[in-house]
Amino acid sequence: MSKFKQLYKPLLDNVQWETPLSLAIEGTEFGHWLLEPDSLSRRLQRHCDEFTVSLIEQKKIDSTMLSADERELIGDVDCLLRKVVLMGDGQPWVFARTLIPLSTLTGQESDLEQLGEMPLGFRVFTDSSARRDALEVANTGTQEQPLWARRSRLWINNKPLLVAELFLAQAPVYSKERQC
């Protein structure tokens, strides 16, 4: 799984995030995937027989490891860094990188550190306080072979998390027969 870190982490690190409006993705074949307000994991699960998560890395990082725009979205705070690959029927569909401020990992949310190979969306979106904002998107591929990504801030009990998701080539977002 380290190949995912080597191949896809640099794409997320160097992406130029833009607003969905500036890229005019609403109403496109793939726009509804990128604009999904609820759990992406639940949506992906509907497109396969077996949905799994592979935990690539999870560690605590110092606030100095955050980019300026990440600090702007979640604060100048130490975080738990979580990297996973979401897979459908054994195919890698999404590479995800989550930053969870250590201050978010308190109270009811302390269990976020123990997710292991459980999808983050399954936990976050079962809470009635969950919401998404600050949604940004980017195409990290080419016009012929797009690789779409999105980044958004999630809130649970008014505590932030920052999730960046890269939709890999096998993801249903690119398959016309899997659109729904």
Amino acid, res. 78 = D
∠ Cα 34 143 146 (to 5°):
40
Residue 35 has a pLDDT of 92
151 is in an annotated binding site: no
User: Does the annotation flag 120 for ligand binding?
Assistant: yes
- What pLDDT, on a 0 to 100 scale, did the predictor assign at position 82? 96
* Every domain of the chain and the residues it spans: 2-178
pLDDT at 24: 83
Closest CA to 152 of 31, 49, 70, 48: 70
Structure token digits, residue 32: 């509804």
Give the fold, CATH level 3, of 2-178.
Chorismate lyase (3.40.1410)
Can you give the pLDDT at residue 175?
Answer: 80
Question: Contact at 8 Å (CB) between 124 and 163?
Answer: no
- pLDDT per residue over 118-153, tens digit each? 999 999 998 889 999 999 999 988 778 888 999 999
**Amino acid 180: pLDDT:** 42
Consult the annotation and say whether 105 binds a ligand: no
Q: Please give the Cα distance from 32 to 26 (Å, whole number).
A: 7
Dihedral of the CA atoms 169, 175, 39, 17 (nearest 10)? Answer: 50
Tokens for 34? 């990128």
- pLDDT single digits (tens) 27-38: 888 888 999 889
Rounded to 5 degrees, φ, ψ at 37 are -85, -20
pLDDT under 50: residue ranges of the chain: 1, 177-180
Task: Report the pLDDT value the prediction gives residue 141, as an integer from 0 to 100.
Answer: 80
pLDDT at 118: 94
